[in-house]
Structure 1
Amino acid sequence: MDPHDSAVPPVDVEAPAATPEAPRLFLPASALVSETLGRATILLVDSVDINRQLIKGILKAGPYRLLDARNPVDAFHILQREPVDLIIADMMMPAQGHPMYGGFEFCRQVKANRRTRLIPILILTSVQGIDNEVAGLESGADEFLIKPLQPAVVRTRIRTMLRNKRTIDSLEEAETILFALAQTVEQRDKETGNHCQRLAALSVALGTALGLPEEDLVALYRGGFLHDIGKIAIPDAILFKRGVLTEAEWTIMRSHTWKGEEICRRMRSLSPVLPVIRNHHEKWDGTGYPDGLGGEQIPLLARILQLADIYDALTSRRSYKSAFAPEEAMKILGKESEMGWRDPELVSVFVEMVRQPNFVARSAALFAPEDDGSEEGMELQSMRDSLARMSREVLK
């Protein structure tokens, strides 16, 4: 948050000038396997041993690492500990209550989990019929082959699926690098601590209170990390200047909004986050930047993240101020609403949310390791998985 964005008067003090060494970047383990060994990992899921042996024979000469499981339970245990590039599953795997549709249910579960939903699935079956093929594809299977299998067709289909998977992995790695850059921006200032994580949690909590759909919650979560990525293009002499910035320097500082948008624009998956990055410094009365938007013209997600950003800045300690108590921070937000700077209705919801019992604990739960298996728990797990990819796999 920029000091002049809040009603709290900025203090003319020396800002910390230290710039810690940028963290090293690491590719996901699955990418490292493909790049260093040239081998894709394929998981075979079939209750019949001879069927798995047949597939192994067909793929024996290929550059593959083959894992096998007798049932979906064993398969999920493997998926939890192994990076898998492709799943080959039989449609007729036994499943409680629905013996003929075990493979389809397995597909649905794989595709419902954000950790595994991008893994392509090839379904094999000896059952003829368009209905079965349609059911398989609707369950999440990416390809469908009828037995008896033709080895050349199997190998060609697998190569095609793995080629597509590598393309997806490349896009995911590019997105991950952007998150790493955003983390680098934050870590240039030791005082901000885990600002991105807290901002992501606060934004998602407010979005949840408003009843926003999951895609908006994910955009808010990502926006918590990417909102200030444009500051990577701001010179240290300005970003860490000791004292008040000149008007010319403020012009450069304000450019981090549209520069951040430009950095992320090429990633189509980040398009829902672009308004958050560009417009989180707009004001309700139209006096903000970079576009001077006012009222409902300001994208809702940008308004949500803005409140979370201000609240976190107010309740965090800085070299030029002590941390405000939550009640004091909410009074400041209320004052800024009266001044015409903030969305008054959104401020009311935010204040009510913060005053709820165990608010801090519930926000922190977004990053807890447990998952109770409920629909809400799965959504939180998806966000935690995203954070894990950004923070643990990329930043060491």
Structure 2
Amino acid sequence: MKKPLILVVDDQQINIDLLKRIVISLGYNVITSTNGEDALKKVELHSPDLVMLDIMMPGMDGYKVAEKLKGDEKTRRIPIVFITGLKDLENNIRAFEIGADDFFTKPFNMKLLGVRIRSLLKQKMLNDKLVGMEKVLVTLARTVEAKDPYTHGHSERVGRIAGKIAVRMKLTKDEINLLSWAADLHDIGKIGISDTILHKPGRLEPAEWKLIRKHPIIGRQICESLPSPGELLDVIESHHEHLDGSGYPNGKSGDDISLYTRIISVSDVYDALTTDRPYRKRYTPSEAIQILEEETRKGWWDKDVLELLRVVIQ
């Protein structure tokens, strides 16, 4: 099994030597850097499993390094441990606001630091496994879509629309990421529905429609095997619910339907309306908006989300 790799960043060689000895004593590999710019290059080149970071350095300080790492999708899951001589609470708070995973002031307890490093590396390993499982599920969901030329690319388009709406709503990066994940997986439950029903060119029989309405619950059951956020499971199960309670599978209404679900639902319906289906030709964007407006007046959709949809598709 490959040993974890830790990047130590400090502008003082004496500190680097001390931290390097600690890392090696824990049985891990180590690389070092003396400034922020070089640290970012080494992260890109070596993909370390954890970064130990000083704050006060010439040029790019530790805060800026952490902001860049936590702001990049490729590196945001790398644990960051600040180790600094700054003792005031304000610096501690700022570090955690940026996304630091721990904060030690010098002089520090070496045993405690070792315990935290082990703990953070274990958590990262679990997170990496989770990401791998997510990718498998997303691939599975897209494979289901790809079998049908009418729905091929649907989840990706829903994700793009939902993401644009979320940006207009000033949602956080984590919230936007959750929406993207939800868009990818919202229809994964269709894997449990017969292709004959999914691709039927005519009107569904009542028994067939009853089966179709089960796909949100099947999707939730598939994703429950993951340590998934509750919000994600809720979107998967609830994306066909209506605000007036007339949707399925559980007849949820009003505030029981989350903002994430409201965004995905409107994005989902808009994309479905503007693409060809076995039983009808696509609607134009303006026709689709008119249909959504009528359904909003019935009490199905969130009018604020619909208004933002109108803006982002222009």
For the criterion TM > 0.5, the same-fold answer is yes
SS at match of 2:252: coil
Change (3 A) 1:282 1:113: same
How far apart are residue 91 of structure 1 and its match?
4.2
**Selected match of 1:94 from 58, 61, 72:** 58
User: Which residue type is aligned with residue 79 of structure 1?
Assistant: V
Of 204-213 and 179-188, more deviation after overlay is shown by: 204-213
- Give distance in 2, aligned partners of 1:304 and 1:133: 37
SS at match of 1:310: helix
Contact 2:200 2:278 in 1 (8 A): no
Corresponding residue for residue 104 of structure 2: 144
**Selected match of 1:259 from 197, 201, 218:** 218
Corresponding residue for residue 31 of structure 1: none
**Selected match of 2:246 from 262, 266, 287:** 287
Corresponding residue for residue 303 of structure 2: 345
Change (3 A) 1:172 1:286: same
Given the alignment of the two structures, is residue 307 of structure 1 paired with residue 266 of structure 2, yes or no?
Answer: yes
Matches within 5 A, 1:1-396: 37-49=1-13, 51-57=15-21, 59-60=23-24, 64-95=28-59, 102-125=61-84, 127=85, 134=92, 138=96, 140-144=100-104, 146-147=106-107, 158-212=117-171, 216-241=175-200, 243-294=202-253, 297-338=256-297, 340=298, 342-343=300-301, 345-346=303-304, 349-350=307-308, 352-354=310-312, 359=314
Which ranges in structure 2 are unaligned for 5 or more consecutive residues? none
Corresponding residue for residue 26 of structure 1: none
Contact 1:203 1:308 in 2 (8 A): yes
How far apart are residue 268 of structure 1 and its match?
4.8
Change (3 A) 1:296 1:128: closer
How far apart are residue 290 of structure 1 and its match?
1.0
User: Which residue type is aligned with residue 227 of structure 1?
Assistant: H
Contact 1:261 1:278 in 2 (8 A): yes
How far apart are residue 87 of structure 1 and its match?
1.1
- Give distance in 1, aligned partners of 2:94 and 2:310: 46
How far apart are residue 266 of structure 1 and its match?
5.0
- Give distance in 1, aligned partners of 2:101 and 2:245: 49
- Give distance in 2, aligned partners of 1:309 and 1:52: 52
Corresponding residue for residue 30 of structure 1: none
- Give distance in 2, aligned partners of 1:124 and 1:240: 58
Contact 2:203 2:279 in 1 (8 A): no
How far apart are residue 50 of structure 1 and its match?
5.4
- Give distance in 1, aligned partners of 2:197 and 2:41: 51
Could you give the per-residue CA deviations for residues 333-383 of structure 1, whole angstroms, max 9, x where no partner exists?
A: 234445x2633734751564156xxx3xxxxxxxxxxxxxxxxxxxxxxxx
Change (3 A) 1:61 1:190: farther
Change (3 A) 1:295 1:124: closer
Change (3 A) 1:313 1:78: same
SS at match of 2:221: helix
Percent identity of equivalent pairs? 34
User: Which residue type is aligned with residue 147 of structure 2?
Assistant: R
SS at match of 1:87: strand
CA RMSD of aligned residues (A): 3.5
Could you give the per-residue CA deviations for residues 265-309 of structure 1, whole angstroms, max 9, x where no partner exists?
A: 454542112332222222355332112234555444323322211
Change (3 A) 1:236 1:56: same
User: Which residue type is aligned with residue 212 of structure 2?
Assistant: M
What TM-score does the superposition give when structure 2 sets the normalisation length?
0.80
Contact 2:144 2:190 in 1 (8 A): yes
Change (3 A) 1:75 1:343: same
How far apart are residue 136 of structure 1 and its match?
8.1
SS at match of 1:190: coil
Higher relative contact order (CA 8 A, sep 6+): 1
